[in-house]
Structure 1
Amino acid sequence: MKTLIALTMLASLSFAQESGWQPLWQPKENTPGYDAAMPPENYPDAEHVTNVHLPEYRVFLPEGESDKPRPAVCIFPGGGYQNLALAKEGEEIGRWLASQGFVGMAVKYRVSADGKHPEAFPHQLMDARRAIRTLRAHAKEWNVDPNKIGVIGFSAGGHLAALATTWKDDVQGETKDTIDKESPATGFAMLIYPVISMDKPYVHGGSKNALLGQAKDAELVKKCSPYLQVTRQTPPLFVVQSADDGVSALNSLDMVRAAQEKGVPVEYHLYRKGGHGYGMRKQNKPTDAWPQEAEKWLKQFKQ
């Protein structure tokens, strides 16, 4: 009987553990900008969600046990700040990271495709910073190394990951609870076909309009262009894009050039073909190779 129990317990550790979706702020009324009149989330298909007004997270823990704390990554799916590709660029990425020995946290940050109920800056940045802080606040519970917390983002989520990594100021409206007292600093960032340059003619208009509306504040536009905020203290970057991406590859080139000018370690993969929005799914194109390159790059944070 004891042997059977031991084998059962061992089997239970052989699979990565996944939490359900949990609110970033508890109770939900503590969410900055909370409005009880907001409509519920909408799932147009099995892959996407839109009209997210209550941000949530889902944790993916590696299989087995570890004697030392693990690195962790917050995951920001894309969707032009109007919806989230939650399955392809969120949950699937969480499982991949867990398979590599990282704690993954998929983040359902605030987005909206409803013009009557928009979700605009700085809510998304608040959500990203709260997610990073939540990982630190639960470091002991989830066996996370608080000094090795990174971010990965796709498309507009890549913009959010870059923004959270380069943002230097406080964000007006953030709470002063125990979690928000944690640091929102990142130790590395992975930007996959990212939107970056809000101040350039090749900006992805849909993402900019959904995030900033018709903002005329040139200073805010610059602050929301992460390549302009890179400093020598910016952590290492891993950047992926394809030359035939509908979101101009000049976005990622801006970020890479800024990193090089400031002496920030950066690994850049510009593929000949691949398009946009592929996540980790194979499409028989050169971009199929990026996850393997990312796995090699990530090893430095497991040492």
Structure 2
Amino acid sequence: MLRTLALCAFLLPMTAMADPVIPLYPDGRAAPLNRPESRDRIEGEIFVFNVSAPTLEIVRPTDATANGTAVIVAPGGGFVGLAYEQSMAVAHRLADLGITAFVLKYRTIESPDDGMHMPEVHVQEMNVLMQRAETGQPAEAPIFAGEPSAVEDGRRAMSLLREGAADWGIDPAKIGLLGFSSGAFLAADLAIGDAETRPDFVAFLYGGLRTPVPAHASPAFIAAAADDAFLPDDSLRIYIAWGEADVPAELHVYQNGGHGFGLEPQGKASDHWFEDFAAWLQTNGLTDIHQHRSLQGD
């Protein structure tokens, strides 16, 4: 059984307890791809390719800090690969805030044998996503093989958490979804969707435009860098769309940081995004930063 990535073990404070990986479809209904699942390090990040068996990997807070809030973390990667190490690092940081985190390994498009081709495919598929966002095409409409499956996996994850909330010690009314890049597009699909699988709150990191936005959409935290070469205007458009729907939203556009920033310090303005997100969570009653610091003896 897969375990929490060992690479994160020495990078983050281990106030969380690792739990087993949970398959989204234990009956094996997800069809396998022609190529086996694989992992490759690209530009310092571990990507997972050819995912056909989606899972949730849980990172729990300690009993002393658990507050009942849960966050599903959806990695980026253009629906071709998943930046998994980055998402696991964020899950540990969330657990340090008393939040139960679930990293979603959703199904991907079949990728070339050489994972280094991934950036080219990523750009191609993200261009298609942008075209759909510009035209306001319904979220359910298929645009290329793979992405509808990812959205289905997101909905399945939300259903599982709501149904089994008591088993994980979480509040079924405090389940959020944080998505990076393509994961933010997935989050947006759920944020404007049916109540059964709509997150109680969402966070969009550099991406995620969907139009139109209904009044029942999830409250949103939105963050991006002004020098994002892939999605330079999406975050502002999301904020405006959420405002026009009169749905609570908070926007952070950092002076620099590029596309794909995470927790690894770059010496850029985007280095502080997680602190801003934690403050937003506290503002909305989803965590208590001061209580956590007191428990940790800070």
TM-score (norm 1): 0.74
| SS in structure 2 of the partner of residue 105 of structure 1 | strand
* Match 1:301 to one of 256, 264, 285: 285
Aligned mate of 1:41, from 32, 37, 42: 37
Report the counterpart of residue 64 of structure 1 in structure 2: 63
| AA of the residue aligned to 2:51 | V
Contact 1:56-1:109 within 8 A present in 2 as well: yes
Structure 2 partner of 1:112: 109
Equivalents in 2 of 1:129, 1:186: separation in Å?
Answer: 9
2:241 to 220, 241, 258: 258
Instruction: Confirm or deny that 1:191 pairs with 2:204.
Output: yes
Match of 2:177 among 148, 151, 168: 151
SS of equivalent to 1:122 = helix
* Matched length: 240
In the TM superposition, residue 130 of structure 1 has moved relative to its aligned partner by 0.8
What's the counterpart of residue 281 of structure 1? 264
CA distance in structure 2 between the aligned counterparts of 1:119 and 1:141, rounded to whole angstroms:
34
User: What pairs with 1:190-209 in structure 2 (closer than 5 Å)?
Assistant: 190-196=203-209
- Percent identical: 30
Is the Cα–Cα contact under 8 Å of residues 75 and 151 in structure 1 kept in the other structure?
Answer: yes
In the alignment, is the contact (CA less than 8 A) between 2:193 and 2:217 conserved in 1?
Answer: no
Indicate if the aligned counterparts of 1:237 and 1:265 stay in contact, CA closer than 8 A: yes
Cα 1:121–1:277 change in 2 (3 A) is closer
How far apart, in 2, do the equivalents of 1:248 and 1:139 lie?
35
1:1-303 maps to which residues of 2 (within 5 A)? 15-28=15-28, 30-31=29-30, 34-35=31-32, 38-45=34-41, 47-65=46-64, 70-88=68-86, 90-114=87-111, 119-168=145-194, 183-196=196-209, 226=210, 228-299=211-282, 300-302=284-286
Note the residue ranges of structure 2 that are not aligned, 5 or more in a row: 1-13, 114-143, 288-298
- Residues 229-282 of structure 1, C-alpha deviations (whole Å, 9 max, x = no match): 311111211000111001222111111111111111111001111101121211
Which protein is bigger by CA-based radius of gyration? 1
CA distance in 2 between partners of 1:185 and 1:168 (Å): 6
**Deviations 1:2-40, CA, capped at 9 Å, x for gaps:** xxxxxxxxxxxx831122322111122x33xx24x6331
Q: 1:83 to 1:262 in 2, by over 3 A?
A: same
Deviation string 1:119-163 (CA, Å, 9 cap, x unpaired) is 423201110011111111221111010001110000111111111
TM norm structure 2 = 0.75
Q: CA deviation at 1:168?
A: 4.1
Between the aligned partners of 2:158 and 2:85, the Cα distance in structure 1 is: 20
Separation in 2, partners of 1:295, 1:276:
21
Does structure 1 conserve the Cα–Cα contact (< 8 Å) formed by 2:202 and 2:220? Answer: yes
Conserved? CA contact 1:167–1:229, under 8 Å: no
1:148 touches 1:301 (CA, 8 Å); kept in 2?
no
Q: For the residues of structure 1 that align with 2:212 and 2:162, how far apart are their CA atoms?
A: 24
Partners in 1 of 2:156 and 2:262 — Cα distance?
A: 24
Per the alignment, in what secondary structure is the counterpart of residue 48 of structure 1?
strand
Evaluate the alpha carbon distance shift between residue 168 and residue 265 of structure 1 in structure 2; reply closer, same or farther with a 3 A threshold.
same
Alpha-carbon separation, structure 1, partners of 2:145 and 2:20: 24
Contact kept, 8 Å, 1:242 with 1:274, in 2: the verdict is: yes
Aligned-residue offset at 1:65: 4.2
Shift of residue 115, structure 1, vs aligned partner: 6.7
CA deviation profile, 1:198-252 (whole Å, cap 9, x unmatched): xxxxxxxxxxxxxxxxxxxxxxxxxxxx2x1311111211000111001222111
